[in-house]
Amino acid sequence: MLRFILRRLGLAVLVALTVSFISFSLLFLSGDPAIAIAGEGANENDIAAIRKLYGFDRPMLLQYWDWLSSALRFDFGESYYFRLPVADLIADRLSVTMILGVCGISFALLLAVPLGVLAAIRPNSIIDRVALFLSVAGQAMPSFWFGLILIVVFSINLRWLPASGAESWRHFILPTIVLGYYAMPAIMRLTRAGMLEVLSADYVRTARAKGAPEGLVLFKHALRNAIIPVVSLAAVQMGFMLGGSIVVESIFALHGAGYLAWESIGRNDLPTVQALILVFSLFYIVFTFLADVLNAWLDPRMRSS
């Protein structure tokens, strides 16, 4: 198990270094960053001064090395727009996005996994049809439209829940439903498919033939094996929720890291965009690594892969 963890950890570090170089290179893909900072109407002297001030006149690899060395110390430079350290900006906004992401994936798992198991146990039943309807509706419904409908119903008409802000736990209920419901269909379908496959396996039939209780067969023998791909998918969905919550944060006026990314892109705040891409990518890498470790614990056969 330790050897497996070390192999996966080394691979995660290599992926993180690759992502860091790509995120740094994005600064130059849209053209000369000095021109973007100077803005329209700037003359050549102003652009040259900015290029020298921010070190854009040095070789790119040297700039990357300096940026990476600073990033390892959680120093991402200063925001061009906010005139504040980028690390402080992200730290101030990240807590909102983290709370929203954890609540969203928890809601998705609590809804999708039981529905997927019930649908697999009773195929072609009413429960299976309801689960299929929820899956199709969740996949077809745009997040921004669903969020606006919830605001109209529960905030404006019924006045049960607040429509915006992040002052209390009640402010996160509607955003959690929107974000979690978007991730629910894929998790539920994968759970259902995995359970259907596992329930027809020989070892499940053998366990039932030996007189094992149905609950033990379902949860110890069947679900433990069927849940393995769900763990990997949940890790990817969690990373998506943290990095792709811009729409939800905008609708509900949650000023988290996703909303900060949208602001920074619109204002050409390149250091902040660079840092956010790196942070969100690292979340993907960390969650994928943890999912691999958990799957290896659930299925020892994976440790030799």
Ordered by start, the domain boundaries in the chain are: 2-72, 97-268+280-304
- CB-neighbour burial class of residue 204 (10 A; exposed 0-12, middle 13-18, buried 19+): middle
Give dist(CA 3, CA 11) in Å, integer.
Answer: 12
Structure tokens at 153: 């119903």
Tens of pLDDT along the chain (305 residues) come to 777 777 778 888 888 888 888 877 776 666 666 766 666 666 777 777 777 777 777 777 888 888 888 888 888 888 877 888 888 888 888 888 888 888 988 998 898 888 888 888 888 888 888 888 888 887 778 888 888 889 999 988 888 888 887 778 888 899 999 888 888 888 888 888 888 888 777 777 777 777 777 777 777 777 777 778 888 888 888 877 776 677 888 888 888 888 888 888 777 777 888 888 888 888 888 888 888 788 777 766 666 65
> CATH classification of 97-268+280-304 is 1.10.10.10, yes or no?
no
Closest CA to 270 of 86, 95, 42: 86
The pTM (predicted TM-score) of the whole model is: 0.78
Measured N-to-C along each axis, helices 86-121 and 228-243 cross at an angle, to the nearest 10 degrees, of 140
